[in-house]
Amino acid sequence: MIYPYHCDECGLEQDIVKPVSECSNPEKCKDCDSLLRRVYTAPLLYGTSVYEANHNPALGQTFTSKRQEQYYKDKHNLIEVGNESTKVMKRDIESERRKRLDSGYDDIV
| pLDDT one-digit tens code per residue, 14-63 | 888 888 888 888 899 988 989 999 888 766 554 445 555 677 777 777 77
Provide the residue range defining the domain that includes 74.
46-103
Residue 47, strand partner residues: none
Give the residue, 80 or 28, on which the prediction is more confident.
28
Residue 63, classified by CB atoms within 10 Å of its CB into exposed (0-12), middle (13-18) or buried (19+), is: buried
63 and 35 within one domain: no
- State the average pLDDT for the chain: 78
Residue 56 CB: number of other CB atoms within 10 A?
A: 13
Residue 28, strand partner residues: 35
90 and 55 within one domain: yes
- Asked if residue 107 has pLDDT above 70, the reply is no
71 and 34 within one domain: no
The answer as to whether 108 is a domain residue is: no
36 and 51 within one domain: no
Q: What average pLDDT does range 82-90 have in this prediction?
A: 72
Structurally, the chain folds into a number of domains equal to 2
pTM: 0.39
